[in-house]
Amino acid sequence: MIYKKTIIGRKHEQDILAKCMGSEKAEFVAVYGRRRIGKTYLIKQFFGDSFDFYATGVYGISRSEQLKLWQDQLRKHSGEKRNKPKDWFDAFEQLREYLDTLSGKEKVVIFLDELPWLDTPKSGFIRALELFWNSWAAERKGLKLIVCGSATTWMTNKLLGDKGGLHNRVTRPIRLAPFTLKETEEYLQSINIGWERKDILDAYMILGGTPFYLSLLRQELTLWQNIDELFFSQDAVLQTEYGFLFSSLFNEATMYRRVVELLATKLKGMTRKELVDLLKTTDNGKFTEVLDNLVKCDFLRRYQAFGKKERDMLYQLSDMYTLFYLRFVKNYHGMNEHAWSNMEEGKRNVWSGYAFEQVCILHINQIRHALGISGIASDVCSWNYRSKEQSAQIDLVINRGDKAIDLCEMKYSDHEYELKKDYVEWLRERRDLFREVTGTNKTLRLTMVASCGIKQNMYSSAIQGRLSLEDMFAL
């Protein structure tokens, strides 16, 4: 298909929307993902803002106020004055009456944005939506009902996971993920920011691939000046974002924040049992829901350690903005509006190394492509070993279907990484320990992803897989 030039990336999502519009039957499309990820932008740009009916929920207002806004939108689209709906059943009945007047149209598109915010306590919204779809809309050929929501718990539990009349009614769910590095580069170019890829990487390590955060960058400022302005200046935009981010996504945000803030103190991750013990909470279905929703919203990464059972799954903080905010901004009470530019390099080192690791893991498809194994089945995991005599950890293990395993090291630096004798010996010792402990008979490959590449010297041949930042921008 021909993709919209105004939309950066999102080709798979545009394909889904195009198939939806090409279908003769009624379609129910649900777009979800974390706040600021570009859900509304995608829909409005794809459809050219031409909807037969459009309404949006507003955070924190009453049912009566939501219904008044619905009334206003219905008047705007129909051109007819209507009484304010008594409840949501009446609101959807009025919508049906208006849509009946469009019977001559081949395609009818309805867009309900921020759907979870329409569902105020005891409003009856979800059951009214269910009746509207099941009793009329589902049988209307050419009708396209598109809904969006940032409150992922509501979207996944009440809509996609509904056990009642809306069970399996969504015909095309779309989960919108953050931009990749390549998409971030394309987006920055579209707003006339032509930074070098190393600066784009640094921006990604702080802001992630969240389009709204990236849109706040100013082309006349350097990256560091931008970060000072966004996080440390008076009334900094992204200084207050953190609190609203959780309250807008999750109905009961306290436990979500506690989990994220605990994981920010142990960057290598924790098991579920460790989280339960340290949080002093109950290990039940509610806690499962919290962890699952944080994973679905791209705050956490859940992965299995090599050779471990499912109950030993690790949870790791993977959201770039949250990691940066908790480490440098949350407890900052200084008056220096240039705090990031003036920060000692040593204070950045631990964070930058970990943040780069997360960027690499988020770009595992690009790493597979660079290694030439895109078409080969592979599992991504970690490995951790500890005994009285020794301990070892590998944060990225690619267990390949071609009888090989990549033991990956990720190195962030401002220059080519220079391998030295003692470090190479340490890598080889750790590789041998991995083979001894796991008992694998696969070929073990030492692989390194270095932000600025690896300097050619007498030790560089010890690394079988060598990747640089350019490989991360490949797809």
pLDDT digits (tens, 9 = 90+) for 173-226: 999 999 999 999 999 999 999 999 999 999 999 999 999 999 999 999 999 999
11-175, superfamily in CATH? Answer: P-loop containing nucleotide triphosphate hydrolases (3.40.50.300)
In the beta sheet, which residues pair with residue 417? Answer: 454
What CATH topology corresponds to 363-472?
A: Trna Endonuclease; Chain: A, domain 1 (3.40.1350)
**pLDDT in the model for residue 334:** 77
pLDDT in tens, 341-397: 998 888 888 899 999 999 999 999 999 999 999 999 999 999 988 898 888 999 899
The C-alpha torsion from 324 through 12 and 176 to 275, rounded to 10°, is -70
Distance, CA of 170 to CA of 29 (rounded, Å): 6
Residue 253 has pLDDT above 90, yes or no: no
User: DSSP letter at 271?
Assistant: E
Task: Give per-residue burial for 224-241: e unless 16+ CB within 10 Å, then b.
Answer: ebbbbbbbbbeebebbeb
What Cα–Cα distance (Å) separates residue 310 from each residue in 285, 297, 391?
Answer: 17, 21, 22
Q: What is the pTM of this model?
A: 0.93
CB 49 within 8 A of CB 110: no
By the 10 Å C-beta count (0-12 exposed, 13-18 middle, 19+ buried), 369 is classed as middle
Helices (H) and strands (E) in the chain, counts: 21, 13
The C-alpha torsion from 200 through 201 and 206 to 209, rounded to 10°, is 80
CB 82 within 8 A of CB 70: no
Instruction: Provide the mean pLDDT of the chain.
Output: 93
Which one, of 426, 416, 393, lies nearest residue 466 by Cα?
416
**pLDDT in the model for residue 303:** 86
**pLDDT in the model for residue 332:** 87
What Cα–Cα distance (Å) separates residue 108 from each residue in 76, 103, 402?
Answer: 16, 9, 50
**pLDDT in the model for residue 384:** 86
Region 60-88: what's the mean pLDDT? 96
Residue 311 has pLDDT above 80, yes or no: no
**pLDDT in the model for residue 5:** 77
pLDDT tier for residue 159 given thresholds of 50, 70 and 90: very high
**pLDDT in the model for residue 128:** 97
More confident: 86 or 104: 86
**pLDDT in the model for residue 96:** 97
**pLDDT in the model for residue 305:** 82
Distance, CA of 236 to CA of 241 (rounded, Å): 9
Distance, CA of 440 to CA of 443 (rounded, Å): 9
Q: Do domains 180-337 and 363-472 have the same CATH topology?
A: no
Alpha carbon distance, N-terminus to C-terminus of the chain = 19
CB 176 within 8 A of CB 42: yes
pLDDT in tens, 458-473: 999 999 999 999 999 9
- The residue ranges of every structural domain in the chain are 11-175, 180-337, 363-472
By the 10 Å C-beta count (0-12 exposed, 13-18 middle, 19+ buried), 339 is classed as middle
Helix, strand, coil fractions of the chain, as percent rounded to 5: 45, 15, 35
Cα angle 122, 128, 131 (rounded to 5 degrees) comes to: 145
- Please, how many CA atoms are within 13 Å of residue 447, restricted to the half-sphere of its CB? 24
Distance of CA 386 to the CA centre of its chain: 32
Residue 6 has pLDDT above 90, yes or no: no
More confident: 333 or 265: 265
**pLDDT in the model for residue 347:** 85
Residue 281 has pLDDT above 90, yes or no: yes
pLDDT in tens, 12-61: 999 999 999 999 999 999 999 888 999 999 999 999 988 999 999 999 89
The pair of three-digit structure tokens given for residue 91, joined into one six-digit string: 């609101």
The pair of three-digit structure tokens given for residue 339, joined into one six-digit string: 């705090």
**pLDDT in the model for residue 145:** 98
User: DSSP letter at 65?
Assistant: H
DSSP output for 83-146: PPPSSHHHHHHHHHHHHHTTTT-S-EEEEEESHHHH--TT--HHHHHHHHHHHTGGGSTTEEEE
**pLDDT in the model for residue 151:** 84
Region 313-329: what's the mean pLDDT? 94
pLDDT tier for residue 308 given thresholds of 50, 70 and 90: confident
Which one, of 374, 356, 354, lies nearest residue 365 by Cα?
374
**pLDDT in the model for residue 250:** 80
CATH of domain 180-337: 1.10.10.10
**pLDDT in the model for residue 353:** 93
pLDDT tier for residue 336 given thresholds of 50, 70 and 90: confident
**pLDDT in the model for residue 264:** 94
pLDDT tier for residue 293 given thresholds of 50, 70 and 90: confident
pLDDT in tens, 391-439: 899 989 999 999 999 999 999 999 999 999 999 999 999 999 999 999 9
**pLDDT in the model for residue 204:** 98
The pair of three-digit structure tokens given for residue 156, joined into one six-digit string: 């996944």
